[in-house]
Chain A
Amino acid sequence: MAHIQLKNISKTFGNHTALTGLNLDIADGEFFVLLGETGAGKTTTLRMVAGLEKPSEGQVFIDGVDVANWGAAERDVALVLQQYSLYPRYTVRENLEFPLKSKIRRIEPDEIKTRVDRVARTLRIEHLLERKTDRLSGGEMQRVSIGRAIVRKPRVFLMDEPLSALDAKLREALRTELKNIQMNLGQTFLFVTHDQIEAMSMGDKVGVLNHGRIVQTGTPYEIYNNPRDTYVASFVGSPPMNLIDGKLVNGRAVMAPLNFELPFAGGAKTSGATDGRPLVFGIRPEDVYLESGAPVEARVHDVENHGVEKILTLRVGDAMLRATVPARTDVEIEQPVRFAWDPDKVVLFDKASGISLRHAG
């Protein structure tokens, strides 16, 4: 169990800057997800907590202690990677035993056996114990890999896209399993992923990383409903939030180049939402709805049927808008429809900086 803090971390590799002024605070027992695109600096952050990489600037604290001079072994963290996560040539049992046999731990052979067996039971890999790792499927490998982390009882679990290489079905199953394990153990997890569904469904807290900077930290609910800027808005959510340029005129949202208007109710909540200021209106696809008497007309550009719902792409002028509608909605491509939005759910972003007016204060 541990409380992790990263203070003002920067990291450069040669003349490439991986991280700039990064601050993170991961509470004890928290499932923290670091979300970002490939190359955003997620793995570098993780490796710095693990002690495999030294920050160019800034400090890492584990339970309030600056661990700058601690090696990976002393930090007592467990690492699960996307691939190459198991020791080759070893059996599953030997893999699980490996961390326990380290000289710094001095665990009795009986105790090792008990712990390995218990973990194997938890993860339902007992039948694989004597198998060599190159004869495991992807899902079994990741299960063993997670087992090797759990068996140690480390202070922190670090996971670098552990589910990304698996197929969809398995990923879903292991997602739930991993979350359950974390809740049962009550351990601190730092989980890195580029998959926003993983982040939303597993994280107690999510940190969105973009180009080596933390853009926003918050609960999945906050990240989803109140994105700090247009990057977070367009990165989180599937399909992402619709972003439309426009301005406010007399309490109505007027889309400047497209010339359509929608009612707006959020003005009272948001300071700085003055008439005429260039803005970006953000609206989630599920808050866009079709209605015969709605104010704006569009044509159906594309229909994606997802079973429980349909995702429509609506064309207004030459702008595209996504709308999530119930599956029973009967529409055809190129059919004219009328739509509106839920005025309470609209998020305003400053056009120039891209920052949400709610966050700008």
Chain B
Amino acid sequence: MAAVTTSTERSLNKLAIVGVLIVTIIFLAPIYWIASTAFKPRNLATTIPPTVVFQPEISPFVKLFTKRSQLRTAPTPEQYAAAPWWERLVFDGGEKVVRSGRGEVQWSGYPNRFMNSLIVAITSTILAVGMGTFTAYGFSRFKIKGEQDLLFFILSTRMLPPVVVAIPMFLMYRAVGLNDTHWGLIILYTAFNLSFSVWLMKGFMDEIPKEYEEAALVDGYTRIEAFFKIVLPEAATGIAATAVFCFITAWNEYAFALIMTNRRAQTAPPFIPSQVGSGLSDWTVIAAGTFLFLLPVAIFTFLLRNHLLRGMSFGAIRK
């Protein structure tokens, strides 16, 4: 087709670009707000109108990672001089860092919660995507009795809001001792993501010509070898796309994490807002916690962006 652009087409194009820019700004505004608040001094965090230009500082992150208590009197000049640079930032905010009897800095709850989030989200993603891939392969390649009914059953596990079963799940978990454990949350998130993973992966598996594996079978490989050598690399795009979605779901899950965990296995989502109520709410610390919490998903999605793009256009490309 000849590339003929009339002046109306050009102005329409410009209009579209402006529209996209506006939408982008609307979507990015809250993220900018969180990111900027994470670097603000405390007194600028809640000004009206919001402060846009300010001297960024690192103190919210220092506070995020340490246990602090309110200072009754200002620190003496000797105390101030003896403190490391990051502790001075806390002094400036009218707080001091809590130390043990031997002078060791006490960590806040955040690093542990963050680790818990990573452990739970990564493990449940691997399990959900792994099992989903195998199941989808089975559904895609073999004649299974009642295939449609089974697939519908798998899908039906998503047909009610998960919170509805929160109380029974809580009671069951308490009975078997899965309360406040990593495995408890991992099992929950895996089960929740599995139906999604099976359905998405089945779509991708159906797109891979079965001739490839059959050639491998004829060439002297077992089905499992053919699966790992031929099918899996072909399914990489689908696996990446599914993994991103599963990871985001598990990473952001709030309700079950709040109900099922309190200390040992608590993830970041229920922890961050819990800080609002303890003492004075310091929004810069909450913003710092949220900002760090956003990073893993952003990095994960960024690393897999090529796969995601290909995944979205899957089936639209002639092979």
Give the interface of A toward B (CB within 8 A). Answer: 50-52, 71-73, 75-79, 81, 83-85, 87-89, 98-99, 102-105, 148, 152
Contact = CB atoms under 8 A, between A and B. Distances in A.
Contacts of B233: 89
Contacts of A79: 214-215, 218
Contact of B218 (A73, A84, A88, A105): A73
Interface in B172-218: 209, 211-212, 214-218
10 contacts: A50-B214, A73-B221, A73-B222, A78-B218, A79-B214, A84-B211, A85-B215, A89-B234, A99-B219, A148-B219
A83 B219 CA distance: 16
A344 B230 CA distance: 58
Contact of B217 (A73, A83, A89, A103): A73
B277 interface: no
A99 B209 contact: no
A50 B218 contact: yes
Interface residues of B, number: 16
Given A73-B222, A88-B234, A52 B217 contact: yes
Interface of A is mostly: loop
B316 to A, nearest CB: 18
B111 to A, nearest CB: 41
Contacts of B218: 50-52, 72-73, 75, 77-79
B214 A72 contact: yes
B217 A87 contact: no
Contacts of A98: 216, 219
B103 interface: no
Interface in B228-253: 230, 233-234
Contacts of A85: 211, 215
B215 A81 contact: yes
Contact of A102 (B211, B214, B220, B230): B220
A50 B217 CA distance: 9
A75 B216 CA distance: 13
Given A50-B218, A72-B217, A102-B220, A83 B211 contact: yes
B205 to A, nearest CB: 15
B220 A52 contact: no
Given A52-B214, A71-B217, 8 more contacts: A51-B218, A72-B217, A73-B218, A75-B218, A85-B215, A102-B219, A102-B220, A152-B219
Contacts of A89: 233-234
